[in-house]
Amino acid sequence: MAEFQYCPWCAAPLVRAAGTRPCCSRCDFVLYQDPKVAVAAVIEHDGGILLGKRAIDPGMGLWSFPAGFVDRGEPLEEALRREVREELGLEVDVERLVGVYSEPGHPVVLIVYAARVRPDSPPLRVGPENSDVAAFPPDAFPPMAFPHDRQIIADWLRRPTPEGVR
């Protein structure tokens, strides 16, 4: 993530003492660089897990779960439904939390939910961020776009379904 170099209020250079947040050298404004929140969905479909082959960077040409950033003030579950609708054309219900993922030095906190396709959902389609969509069995995933993708499926497999049976 690029560091800010100038104060957003007065344009003076920002300074940083060891271990502190960036601070304006003129007006003492403190810059809080909060993380960005994203959501992802693990969706069972046709005997596998739905993945999209990314048509954009990062990870272009690799596969990942339907995911995206949460807009300010948007409930997490609604952001998840919106992202799945945009990327796969499907309407889903959120079932349960799979996990929360972050990495040192990476500005994104990823919140992953298990979701299921609603009976009244439109058919699966390829959205503009993907070049393909397909369902893969958890033990035969294609090359994945992000380091945490395999951990997500491992966590999903460890947790029981709401009925307690997998």
Q: Looking at the structure, do residues 44 and 29 belong to the same domain, yes or no?
A: no
Q: Looking at the structure, do residues 21 and 96 belong to the same domain, yes or no?
A: no
Task: For residue 107, give the CATH number of its domain.
Answer: 3.90.79.10
Predicted pLDDT at 127: 92
Q: Looking at the structure, do residues 84 and 2 belong to the same domain, yes or no?
A: no
The domain tally of the chain equals: 2
Spatial CA neighbour of 60 closest among 149, 13, 1, 130: 130
Q: Looking at the structure, do residues 70 and 106 belong to the same domain, yes or no?
A: yes
Mean pLDDT, to the nearest integer, of 70-97?
96
In a domain, 166, yes or no: no
Report yes or no on whether pTM surpasses 0.95. no
Mean pLDDT, to the nearest integer, of 2-9?
82
Q: Looking at the structure, do residues 63 and 113 belong to the same domain, yes or no?
A: yes
Round the average pLDDT of the chain to a whole number and report it.
90
Q: What CA–CA distance (Å, rounded) separates 109 from 132?
A: 26
Can you read off the two tokens belonging to residue 38?
């994203």
Question: Domain range holding 28?
Answer: 1-33
Give yes or no for residue 1 having a pLDDT over 50. no
